[in-house]
Structure 1
Amino acid sequence: MKDFGSDKKNVVQANLDAQKIAFAPIMFQAAKSLRNLGILEYLFNKGKASIETIATELNLSVYGVKVLLEAGLSLEMVYLKDNEFILTKTGYFILRDKMTNVNMDFTQDVNYLAINHLEESIVNGKPEGLKELGNWDTVYIGLSELPEKIKKSWFGFDHFYSDYTFPEIMPILFDNNPNSFLDVGGNTGKFSLQCAKYDPNVKITIMDLPGQVKVAQKNIAEAGFEDRISTIGANLLDDSIAFPKGFDIVWMSQFIDCFSLEEVYSLFRRAYEAMADDASFYILETFWDLQKFQASTYSLHATTLYFTAVANGNSQMFHSEDILKVIEKAGFVVDEMHEMIGMSHSLIKCKKRVL
């Protein structure tokens, strides 16, 4: 296992970073306000502008624009030259980068109030912040019932990262002409619909919570694939519920991070027991130790805390070694491993171990 990070900062830089952490929730709101109130957009379009000009053009108070732009200086989203403000590269990312905006909206709408219960969640071992969203044991049970804005940000975050993987994984998955898929944790059916469009003959079964299956059924009907995509509503945390047999591929995408390692083992064992000897088991996941950029690792560590305080209280974005050990324990061997799929994923192909 390779090391991550170091402690080579000088005292001045360490102190600055400590203050960034201390005031992070406040400064996050400043960044969001600069984006949402159109100040960053105005600077992008005009190149540079004074506080007074921005206030007049956007119908905001001089005071309001002033305090936000001064915060923007410390956030390094803008800089000041000859009494006019200019957008920085960081400011541009906050304004225009889709990933950054997906992450910010997820943080604000899904997590901002709930993450205040993180300490409680650690101590009690359950998602104490979930009460800020609804009265469920896990967020997955209540996904279809979330308020529309929160739901939009949740699914926007979830789908943004998985959607980038589809063009790369389809040729890998269909290389051996599989006839059938079991999509475990198929959510709204996005992956299954992509498979049905990619191959006109493949048949797919989605297995997920009843609420998610209901949404998937609607999407499947709208796409006209009822004849090739079926669904099974089930509580996948129930160890007594076996997976159906007879599929060429068992598929789990951005799914195992929703469970503890013990629960992941149960899911893998049920996959093993449902598979024929020549079937394949694929896992598509984001592992924090296999990221190319520090920004990705940082984002995944932050996302883990969402699982802790909001989603279910016991899962996380895993280190790859943790999952590789569970794969072996469940009776599989890794047949192939493809890193850096899409933006941040790894694709693991498993076969049943020959005894």
Structure 2
Amino acid sequence: MENQDNQPSPASIMQIGSGFWASKVLLAAIKFQLFSKLDEKGSMAAQEIKATLNLKCTDIHMYDFLDVLTGLGFLSRKGLLESAIYSNSIHSDAFLVKSKASYIGGMLEMLNNRLYHHWGNLEDGLLTGLPQNEIKSGNDNLFEELYKSPERLLEFIDAMGSIQMGNFNAFAQQFDFSKYKTLTDVGGCGAALSSMVAQYQPHMKCTSFDLPVVEPIAKEKIAKTSFGDRVVTASGDFFADPFPKADVVVMGNILHDWDENKKILLLQKAYDALPEGGAFVAIENVIDDERSKNVFGMMMSLNMLIETGTGFDYTFSSFNKWTKNVGFKSTSIVPLTGPTSAAIAYK
């Protein structure tokens, strides 16, 4: 909160306090598929963009919208106001064009359609300890509620795949798979992790395990890859049913959904599914033990308050304690991308 001269400054306070402004500008652009439409045309003037998106705001507000996106690094611009021509920045071109395999907008779509509104109730969540989303009054199981709607189910699966894409890619290349032949991804959603491991590790056979309602979507996504001979699906409830046995059991953003007792139950089930020497891997925003650096991990933990009420993200020290109690012999941690790490326990 201080500047370089060690003098108090309100700048960072206001930047963070108004941070939702910048967030909502990006999320609106995602909802309008602005980056995808710019990719189709290559570049467009503001008036052409306005007509293409069917926006009715004044011209100056259109310029404001596009120039904010430019200032934030999402668009490139030549000229100014009436003469300006806009195109995607290299980052938007790589990650925000919906037709590209590298698209990470699925999570941004869910942030806009669901979480932006639910986070408006953070104070109520802290006051009550209760979820602040679709299950605020009614069903106590978020996933049952989400999965009632095919549209919301697909949005959720795409969101989970996109938020972890970079991490799955890094894990598939950085983890030492030389001792292993099989992998089970518990809560595998659209089989993104299994497909990524199959791509980089041609000796591995992978199973994506999730609820029966998810399986057809996972199969459809697997069919679009060239790894269908080494990536399969299995369906079941990971609390009620045993995990498919494998040399490596992975959970990506699964443990943090639950309270401590359920975390330990899932770790026990993973232990039971592994052979001696097998590895359990949790790919999540593992919080640093000092709880001072991985601020995103702690905000993700608050998101679990919003989503589940009792779920939370955790430190590596907590992971070590839980896995030791279950019976795992040793642990290690591998940084992946951004705030995410692979916390690994060996049987």
TM-score (norm. length: structure 2): 0.69
Corresponding residue for residue 100 of structure 2: none
Residue pair 2:285, 2:296 contacting (<8 A) in 1 also = no
Q: How does 1:191-230 map to 2 (within 5 A)?
A: 191-196=193-198, 202-219=204-221, 225=228, 229-230=232-233
> How far apart, in 2, do the equivalents of 1:317 and 1:269 lie?
18
Q: CA deviation at 1:174?
A: 2.4
Which one-letter code corresponds to 1:155 in the other structure?
I
> How far apart, in 1, do the equivalents of 2:176 and 2:163 lie?
18
User: Would the alpha carbon gap of residues 11 and 332 (structure 1) be closer, same or farther in structure 2, given more than 3 Å must change?
Assistant: same
Q: Does 1:305 align with 2:302?
A: yes
Deviations 1:149-189 (A, max 9, x none): x555533432124332444434534211x233333222222
Which residue of 307, 329, 333 corresponds with 2:329? 333
The percent of aligned pairs where both chains have the same amino acid is: 16
Deviations 1:297-335 (A, max 9, x none): 45444433332213x222234333332332223222335
Q: Does 1:66 align with 2:70?
A: no
TM-score (norm. length: structure 1): 0.68
Q: CA deviation at 1:233?
A: 0.6
Which protein has greater RCO, CA pairs closer than 8 Å, 6+ apart?
Answer: 1
User: Would the alpha carbon gap of residues 272 and 147 (structure 1) be closer, same or farther in structure 2, given more than 3 Å must change?
Assistant: closer
Gap runs ≥5 in structure 2:
97-103
Gap runs ≥5 in structure 1:
1-6
- Which SS does the other structure have where 1:130 is aligned? coil
Deviations 1:101-127 (A, max 9, x none): 555433211212222232333333332
Which residue of 125, 140, 143 corresponds with 1:140? 143
Based on CA coordinates, which of the two structures has the bigger radius of gyration? Answer: 1
User: Would the alpha carbon gap of residues 207 and 71 (structure 1) be closer, same or farther in structure 2, given more than 3 Å must change?
Assistant: closer
What is the RMSD computed on CA atoms of the aligned residues? 4.6
Residue pair 2:186, 2:238 contacting (<8 A) in 1 also = no
Q: How does 1:41-190 map to 2 (within 5 A)?
A: 45=43, 54-55=46-47, 58-59=50-51, 64-67=58-61, 69-70=63-64, 76-77=71-72, 92=89, 96=93, 98=95, 104-131=108-135, 136-146=139-149, 148=151, 150-151=152-153, 153-170=155-172, 172-176=175-179, 178-190=180-192
- Which SS does the other structure have where 2:9 is aligned? helix
